[in-house]
Structure 1
């Protein structure tokens, strides 16, 4: 690839090399579950709301994906299905699951969740993002015992759901669709940081015989410091987002708020700069640009890095 840009000169080669080095892939901490067997003993089911007289929600993985079904439903039943083997969400990590839904009957929710160790019959200290239909995404939860408002997006062809933790007390919830990352909400949980202690699933089914299936490859991915759009590379695209939103109040990392404080500022820029290597010396927040003929080469390399990161997912 570098031969194609041999005319750029020594500075160009050095700069392109720095960009390639900075474009490291955000690899997974580990795939937690591929659901390739029927064993779900590493999860604990806790009924946190029951308005009926029977226990009607059950999880299974009979065909390589997670599914949930209701039998004998006679009222709302909300459950957390969290790992019991020590998996939590640390600062700088993101929980993801692949989505390919099959739905039968009227369902409310199936999605991923983070939460403190739950108590039966108590809705406290958990957050979730879920599928309410094949194209409807829903998110809500509890910080302490205070319920946070419901947020829903409609008409979305979701590829993955995610929950990230950009700072110790900040959680972002949303989805990937068409290769784009959408943050539905960013929550400051204050002292309730035990919300990140456990990862797993949330479900709410209210109709007898309802089923929803198609969650797969539950995993935790490390977010690269300085990677604004979470595409696995630290590049000019990330810089441009920070520059364009500087001093704006925004919701989410994807708009340049790397610290999770709700504001794009010099602290966010510094995080990008500290991790961008030689590339950072070629741009300015206040009107500077990458000198020609390097800009074309850098744009091409950045585009290749984005495509490569997308393919690795």
Structure 2
């Protein structure tokens, strides 16, 4: 704990905040779990904004989600919306090796090879501690808080998006991706690509995916209390309280959705707060809701006083 607090002080120094202010950020919090709710074998949804196909209706076949494989599907999006739920056609075996979903822009959803543009627009990571359920046909990922994201319309000519699935540990076999295998191109608005980047069976196979809309707005960067405004006390205090602790919710200080409060969350808050034109001083942070002085805080205050004495000498 002391080493963690000292690392925080050094980082805060580099970002222009005094040592005395850094002491207010060191605290403890209870452990918790993920921001994504997983459900096995939901019904085929109606009203999805983006839908490829249900492979079970088209002589389904499969490809293992295992090792270092990255499997993909492209699609077009007719309208901007906030993604609140993702349903994937997968037959999972219940093994826990983590899962990563990356969303990319693509220029041609029916290109002969996988060709994403730049870095992922959005990444959803299920950690190694997440209990992946066993499924037969589908997996639902209901998103909340920091995992909500806006997907802009992208359907001009052949432009669209691609989703890529892989296991986090690049070793565990998670199960099978389900795709159509009728020999005909049953979904003309996209293509399934295997780990080689190619489109098997001349591009006639398609992976089943559904993206559903939510009315909940994506969070404002730096805002922990959900009032859509970045503030000093209300938004920074949860980060200070739960610093270097696993948490469940954004309201507990996890701004980037990785289930852990660390300097990345503090940096996001700081950048967003300063972008409003505000400034930060040690006296500002001293008024945060600091618990009773602990040994760590006393040590930090002692280090600060010692540093002042040395500077005077």
TM-score by shorter chain over 0.5: no
Structure with the higher strand share, 1 or 2 = 1
Q: How does the TM-score come out when normalised to structure 1? A: 0.31
**Larger-gyration structure (1/2):** 2
Q: How does the TM-score come out when normalised to structure 2? A: 0.31
